[in-house]
Structure 1
Amino acid sequence: MLKLQKTFITAEEYFDIEEAAEYKSEYYHGEMFAMSGALVNHNLIAMNASAGLHNLLKNSDCFVFPSDIRVELDKARHYAYPDVSVICGDIRCADGRKDTIVNPVLIIEILSESTQEYDRGLKFKAYQNIPSLKEYILIDQYSYRVEYFFKNTDGLWIYEKYDNPEDTLKFRSVDAELSLSAIYHRVKF
């Protein structure tokens, strides 16, 4: 049996390919992973969360970004596109790149069947290495379910679960709260 050898690329090669590509890819330790298109529910939830946070934070020093901004999880080794990210204060970019941020305080990922294991596992573990990150939110697109992780003052990640449309998610890193009914507005299961 013939074993195919993986071809690894550098982060710089990844950036060059990304700039020429018509699609987005994430980068992990020398490998690129193309991101597939999202379902209607995924897009509605991402827009609701992003617009809701933007409206609540527009008069603060915080910035809300959609999934087109890349986050550096591990310099030259791991880059990802969260569904929503928030920065408060100065926007810091990775080594002269205006498309890659390094200091999010809050990240939201919308779970899909193909990415939920990665979002809960390896990706969350990598996100925890970002010093500025205080909150990580996983939103299910198939039912009312929000998994909320926040870093306490001891640096430990605390878990909370919300699954009632009347529940309200109170953020700790930003002065905002969103109800599940707002996050899931017009979403059909």
Structure 2
Amino acid sequence: MRIETQKIPTTLAELEALGEDVILRIPASFEEYLEWVEKCQFTIEYFNNEIVIMGNVSYYHEKLVIRIGYLLTILLENLKGFSVIGSNIKIHIADVLSPTDFNADVSVVQGKPEFVTLPSGKKLTSTITNPVLVVEVTSKSTISHDFGDKLLAYKKIDSLQYAIFVSQYQPFVTVYERKGIHYWELRDYTRLEDSFSIMEQPLTLAEIYKDIPFEN
């Protein structure tokens, strides 16, 4: 294996030492990445032939993630076949040049999840390929990664209908909604009274940002 162990943190203590505003990128094959997924005590991602490791998130980041997951569960509970998924489930995007694995903060699947099957025949029930919605709560260190690498990769997912980006520092929600095979509509929402629709179900920024202090 060409990756040196000391270059990759594997324990929660080592991740904590990185702080909140750090992203590490380590060149690796996809097979090497899969080995490190088993070793790490925290989430790692894979993009552009690199293992991607992000530092710890803030209290308000996680508060928003839980809030959004709860709101989506309530929003979609009367519609058949939708499941709201947390950030421990990976999203796999097949690519001719390099496969990609991301962990969205929140995702939604319609119908049965489609799991990844490795060349060995092993099925990864921790990794799906067919989300219809993904949510990323952005931070100062991840915003370029979220709107750059992740968004471009997410748009390659045939099943995806919504990619939503939520700022943790101010009322600011960006919604990408698929309107055609290669056409996405982009809308920004910046007021607490603003609302947008998910599967024709309304959601307001005031609901999302309930009890979030913007001085965080």
CA distance in 1, matches of 2:39, 2:201: 37
Aligned equivalent of 1:38: 57
Shift of 1:135: 0.7
Give the match for residue 90 of structure 2.
70
Q: Where does residue 135 of structure 1 map in the other structure? A: 162
1:165 aligns with 2:196: no
Aligned pairs, number: 182
CA distance in 2, matches of 1:125, 1:113: 19
Query: Which runs of 4 or more aligned residues in structure 1 lie more than 3 Å from their structure 2 counterparts after TM superposition?
Result: none
Q: What is the one-letter code of the residue matched to 1:37?
A: N
User: Among residues 189, 199, 203, which one is paired with 1:178 in the alignment?
Assistant: 203
Read off the aligned partner of 2:110 and give its amino acid letter.
Answer: C
Q: Partner of 2:109: helix, strand, or coil?
A: strand
Distance in 2 (alpha carbons) for counterparts of 1:129 and 1:87:
16
SS at match of 1:85: strand
> Does 2:126 match 1:99?
yes
Residue number in structure 1 paired with 2:72: 53
1:151 counterpart SS class: strand
Query: What is the distance in 1 between the residues matched to 2:129 and 2:211?
Result: 33
**1:151 has 2:178 as partner:** yes
Does the CA contact (< 8 Å) of 1:53 and 1:176 recur in 2?
Answer: no
CA distance in 2: counterparts of 1:35 and 1:177, whole angstroms: 32
Q: TM-score, normalised by structure 1?
A: 0.89
DSSP-derived class of the 1:187 partner: coil
Distance 2:50 2:26 in 1: 8
More strand by share: 2
Counterpart contact for 2:26–2:52, Cα < 8 Å:
no
Give TM-score, length-normalised by structure 2.
0.79
| Structure 2: 5+ residue stretches without partners | 1-24, 118-122
| Alignment partners' CA distance in 2, 1:152 and 1:44 | 31
Give the root-mean-square deviation of aligned CA atoms: 1.7
Report if aligned partners of 1:44, 1:186 keep a CA contact under 8 Å in 2. no
Correspondence for 1:82: 104
Counterpart of 1:65 in structure 2: which amino acid? Answer: I
Matched AA of 2:74: N
Q: How many Å apart are 1:28 and its aligned residue?
A: 1.4
The question of whether the paired residues in 1 share the 8 Å contact of 2:61 and 2:137 is answered with yes
User: Aligned in 2, Cα 1:7/1:53: closer, same or farther, shift over 3 Å?
Assistant: closer
In structure 2, C-alpha distance between the alignment counterparts of 1:47 and 1:111, rounded to whole Å: 14
- Mapped to 1, the partners of 2:149 and 2:39 lie a distance apart of 27
